[in-house]
Amino acid sequence: MDHDDAVKVVLDGCTVSHVGGTALEFEGNGATWSPSASDPYGNEFINGVITDVGACGLRVGTTPNKANTETTTAQGVHVANDLITGGGRFLHSGMAVIVGDAHDVVSSTTRSTTGTRPPSRSASPSPRRAPQGSLRPTRPA
Protein backbone atom coordinates (compact mmCIF):
# COMPACT_ATOMS: atom_id res chain seq x y z
CA MET A 1 0.00 0.00 0.00
CA ASP A 2 1.64 3.17 -1.20
CA HIS A 3 0.65 6.34 0.65
CA ASP A 4 2.37 9.04 -1.40
CA ASP A 5 1.72 12.52 0.01
CA ALA A 6 -0.96 11.11 2.30
CA VAL A 7 -1.75 12.74 5.63
CA LYS A 8 -3.83 11.43 8.54
CA VAL A 9 -3.80 7.78 7.51
CA VAL A 10 -4.23 5.59 10.59
CA LEU A 11 -3.89 1.83 10.19
CA ASP A 12 -4.76 0.35 13.58
CA GLY A 13 -4.91 -3.43 14.00
CA CYS A 14 -4.39 -4.16 10.29
CA THR A 15 -2.65 -7.17 8.77
CA VAL A 16 -0.79 -6.85 5.47
CA SER A 17 0.27 -10.19 4.03
CA HIS A 18 1.31 -11.96 0.82
CA VAL A 19 2.70 -8.89 -0.97
CA GLY A 20 5.20 -9.19 -3.82
CA GLY A 21 7.11 -5.97 -3.01
CA THR A 22 7.02 -3.55 -0.08
CA ALA A 23 3.99 -3.99 2.18
CA LEU A 24 3.42 -0.41 3.33
CA GLU A 25 4.96 2.90 2.21
CA PHE A 26 4.62 6.44 3.52
CA GLU A 27 6.50 8.51 0.92
CA GLY A 28 5.60 12.15 1.34
CA ASN A 29 3.62 14.72 3.22
CA GLY A 30 1.49 16.71 0.81
CA ALA A 31 3.06 19.96 2.09
CA THR A 32 -0.04 20.82 4.13
CA TRP A 33 0.76 19.32 7.53
CA SER A 34 3.66 19.53 9.96
CA PRO A 35 4.07 17.93 13.39
CA SER A 36 3.15 19.94 16.47
CA ALA A 37 2.79 19.24 20.19
CA SER A 38 -0.97 18.87 19.88
CA ASP A 39 -0.85 16.89 16.58
CA PRO A 40 2.45 14.96 16.47
CA TYR A 41 1.56 12.20 13.97
CA GLY A 42 0.66 12.60 10.32
CA ASN A 43 0.36 8.87 9.61
CA GLU A 44 0.27 5.83 11.87
CA PHE A 45 0.71 2.06 11.61
CA ILE A 46 -0.08 0.69 15.07
CA ASN A 47 -1.03 -2.71 16.56
CA GLY A 48 -0.52 -4.36 13.18
CA VAL A 49 1.15 -7.28 11.48
CA ILE A 50 3.14 -7.38 8.24
CA THR A 51 4.05 -10.84 7.02
CA ASP A 52 5.19 -12.72 3.91
CA VAL A 53 6.43 -9.87 1.73
CA GLY A 54 8.72 -9.88 -1.29
CA ALA A 55 10.93 -6.96 -0.27
CA CYS A 56 10.59 -4.93 2.93
CA GLY A 57 7.81 -4.51 5.44
CA LEU A 58 7.56 -0.75 5.92
CA ARG A 59 9.20 2.09 4.04
CA VAL A 60 9.09 5.68 5.30
CA GLY A 61 10.40 8.43 3.02
CA THR A 62 12.10 8.26 -0.34
CA THR A 63 15.62 8.25 -1.67
CA PRO A 64 17.08 11.68 -0.85
CA ASN A 65 17.04 14.10 -3.79
CA LYS A 66 17.12 17.87 -4.41
CA ALA A 67 13.36 18.05 -5.03
CA ASN A 68 12.60 17.04 -1.43
CA THR A 69 12.07 19.89 1.00
CA GLU A 70 11.55 20.09 4.75
CA THR A 71 7.78 20.24 4.25
CA THR A 72 7.35 17.67 1.46
CA THR A 73 9.34 14.77 2.93
CA ALA A 74 7.58 12.09 4.97
CA GLN A 75 7.23 13.24 8.56
CA GLY A 76 5.33 12.57 11.74
CA VAL A 77 5.04 8.84 11.06
CA HIS A 78 4.22 6.71 14.13
CA VAL A 79 4.93 2.97 14.08
CA ALA A 80 4.14 1.14 17.33
CA ASN A 81 3.30 -2.28 18.73
CA ASP A 82 3.70 -4.10 15.41
CA LEU A 83 5.10 -7.42 14.24
CA ILE A 84 6.98 -7.44 10.95
CA THR A 85 8.06 -10.89 9.81
CA GLY A 86 8.72 -12.98 6.74
CA GLY A 87 10.22 -10.31 4.51
CA GLY A 88 12.79 -10.55 1.77
CA ARG A 89 11.09 -13.42 -0.06
CA PHE A 90 12.17 -12.10 -3.49
CA LEU A 91 14.59 -9.29 -2.64
CA HIS A 92 16.69 -11.09 -0.06
CA SER A 93 18.23 -7.86 1.23
CA GLY A 94 14.75 -6.60 2.19
CA MET A 95 14.53 -5.18 5.70
CA ALA A 96 11.69 -4.85 8.16
CA VAL A 97 11.70 -1.04 8.22
CA ILE A 98 13.51 1.33 5.87
CA VAL A 99 13.62 5.05 6.65
CA GLY A 100 14.74 7.24 3.78
CA ASP A 101 14.46 11.03 3.46
CA ALA A 102 12.08 11.62 6.39
CA HIS A 103 11.95 13.26 9.80
CA ASP A 104 10.01 13.01 13.05
CA VAL A 105 9.55 9.26 12.65
CA VAL A 106 8.65 7.48 15.90
CA SER A 107 8.92 3.71 16.29
CA SER A 108 8.30 1.80 19.50
CA THR A 109 7.73 -1.82 20.45
CA THR A 110 7.97 -3.06 16.89
CA ARG A 111 9.25 -6.63 16.69
CA SER A 112 10.90 -7.90 13.57
CA THR A 113 12.09 -11.21 12.23
CA THR A 114 12.28 -10.02 8.64
CA GLY A 115 15.39 -11.01 6.80
CA THR A 116 15.73 -14.32 8.59
CA ARG A 117 15.63 -17.23 6.23
CA PRO A 118 16.23 -20.91 6.75
CA PRO A 119 19.84 -21.98 6.26
CA SER A 120 20.76 -22.66 2.66
CA ARG A 121 21.18 -26.23 1.51
CA SER A 122 24.65 -27.51 0.86
CA ALA A 123 25.86 -27.58 -2.73
CA SER A 124 26.21 -31.37 -2.69
CA PRO A 125 23.13 -33.05 -1.27
CA SER A 126 23.59 -36.25 0.68
CA PRO A 127 23.11 -39.41 -1.40
CA ARG A 128 19.72 -41.07 -1.24
CA ARG A 129 19.62 -44.37 0.51
CA ALA A 130 17.18 -47.10 -0.19
CA PRO A 131 14.96 -48.01 2.75
CA GLN A 132 15.98 -51.13 4.62
CA GLY A 133 14.45 -54.26 3.25
CA SER A 134 13.85 -52.80 -0.20
CA LEU A 135 15.03 -54.46 -3.36
CA ARG A 136 18.10 -52.94 -4.90
CA PRO A 137 18.96 -53.38 -8.55
CA THR A 138 22.02 -55.52 -9.14
CA ARG A 139 24.66 -54.88 -11.78
CA PRO A 140 25.11 -57.45 -14.49
CA ALA A 141 28.42 -59.29 -14.31
Residues 75-132 have pLDDT tens digits of 888 999 999 888 888 887 788 888 888 888 888 877 776 554 444 444 444 444 444 5
Q: Which of 4-18, 56-70, 86-100, 125-139 has the lowest mean pLDDT?
A: 125-139
Q: What is the pTM of this model?
A: 0.71
Instruction: Report the alpha-carbon distance of residue 54 to residue 19 in Å, rounded.
Output: 6
85 forms bridges with which residues in the sheet?
A: 51
Q: How far apart are CA 9 and CA 1, in angstroms?
A: 11
Residue 66's pLDDT is: 87
Nearest one of 108, 95, 100, 93 to 44, comparing CA atoms: 108
Q: Please give the backbone phi and psi of residue 5, each rounded to the nearest 5 degrees, phi first.
A: 60, 25
Lowest mean pLDDT among 30-34, 62-66, 76-80, 96-100: 30-34
**Would you list the domain boundaries of the chain?**
2-32+42-112
